[in-house]
Amino acid sequence: MRTSIFVFCLLFGVIFAKSCLDEVKELEAKPPMVGAYKPICQTNGLYAETQYHASYYFCVNPKTGEKILGTDVRFRKPSSCKTTPCMLQRHQGMLNSKQGMVGHFTPQCEEDGSFKKVQCHGSTGYCFCVAADTGVKVEGTEVRGKPTNCETAGIDNADKPCLKQLNELQAKQPLLGQFKPKCQANGMFAEMQSHAGYHYCVFPKTGEEIKGTRIRFAQPKTCKATPCLIQRHHAMKDSDRGMVGQFTPQCETDGSFTVTQCHSSTGFCFCVVPETGEKLLGTELRFKKPKNCEMTECMHERHQALKSGLLGVFKPACDEDGLYSNVQCAEGICYCVFAKTGAKVLGTELERGVRPTTCELTKCFKKRHEFLSQTQPLLGARKPVCTADGNFNAVQCHEGVCHCVFPTTGEEVLGTMTRFRKPQSCKLTQCVLARHKGWKMASYGLLGVRIPRCAPSGDYQKVQCRNGMCWCVNPTTGKAVAGKSAQWTVPSC
């Protein structure tokens, strides 16, 4: 039996998941809904392993509260909520079916969590016998329809398979150097075997070598049949049979999944959960390994969002280090965030479809952040409009009054104020700058300051007047035109 265990990550999200008590508090803070599910908590804040809702009892992961699929029992508690290999495989199989995956094998479990001795693959129609504790297929029992008897088949009939094999070997007078299995006291095969300078792991009930564990002149660190070792074993067996395109996981010496996995047939590399091998969605890169596979908050949030498959769910962008990318976008609105937490930097939101080109806390972003951070904005306080590069928008408006500003400082360009409409131009021409300087000097109390008049376009008005004298000027430079002046009248320019 193919027992590649794509175990659902029951321990996944422990760091970030809310506690049971937190969830109950949130539910109690909201108006109660008839029939709403309310979790049962342990005194230490974890979820009770057995939960109840609408006449059904079911098992959950105590740390995350996530339901273990396939454990529902009506009107009575499950006999066991211990997360056995069968329960984990069944949960993952049912989860894959819910997500639309076809052809995936979902095992049947006994109430005590062990594998049912007869298993059937719904997609192929074949049934076969398995070992109740590991789910390993008993070779030669695969038939269409249920096998006649799994009590007398292979594993269950051979209560001391290693001793039996050893006795048969010794009865035939073994050849020099021929392999002799090592047995446990109970007659099963020792988990670690050695031959011709190699050490390797085997399945204790069958003695079959776990492929990928063979080491020369050294011993495997562990021979525990972990999900990674089992999945790698079956993938290598399939390759030996000529199956192509098969994914073969890489395992650490302790039997866990290597956090970075690569599929040689597709060229994609991705991060996985070490305990279960579950792919972290959103980490796939082609022909390149992810720089960091440590489970960060951004990677966790992105994985959960992609896994949900729901439309409109925010999916954060993460950088190569697993931190939040500086710029995030949701529903067409882009903004800056803090890299470690993903918290929005208030004031960096721009118009729909406009993406910030910088997330440096410029003067404009800072003023917007300060304004939005106030629970009760001060009287007359203004929320500035910023451009994508963090500068002040050339036109600022507040309560019907608009004016031009200097882009880097946000200072008002004096003389540009208009009511109920925007200035025609905020180009900082020679006239506009001279007028601003004149008004500023006048505000300091200086007398006799000349303040030029500017056209809506920003050029000098062709006629300038002061103290009864008017004269013509060059619209661009503001210099007087010789011979074009008059007292108490407007010259023709």
**Tens digit of each residue's pLDDT, the chain (493 residues):** 333 333 333 333 444 457 899 888 988 888 777 888 899 999 999 999 999 998 999 999 999 899 999 999 999 998 888 888 898 889 988 988 888 777 778 999 998 889 998 999 888 888 988 878 778 776 567 888 887 677 655 544 446 788 788 777 766 767 788 898 988 877 789 999 999 999 999 999 899 999 999 999 888 888 988 999 999 999 998 888 888 888 999 999 889 999 999 998 899 999 998 988 988 888 999 999 998 888 889 998 999 888 888 888 899 999 988 899 999 999 889 999 999 899 888 888 888 888 999 888 889 988 888 888 887 767 767 889 999 888 999 999 998 899 999 999 999 999 999 999 999 999 999 999 999 999 999 989 888 889 999 999 999 999 999 888 999 999 999 999 998 888 888 888 8
Residue 49: predicted pLDDT: 92
pLDDT of residue 1: 37
Per-position b or e across 448-470, b if 16+ CB within 10 A of its CB = eeebbbbeeebbbbbbbeeeeeb
Domains of the chain with CATH codes: 20-144 (4.10.800.10), 296-349 (4.10.800.10)
What pLDDT is attached to residue 151? Answer: 67
pLDDT of residue 323: 93
pTM for this structure? Answer: 0.42
How far apart are the C-alpha atoms of 493 and 491, rounded to whole Å? 6
State the pLDDT at residue 194: 93
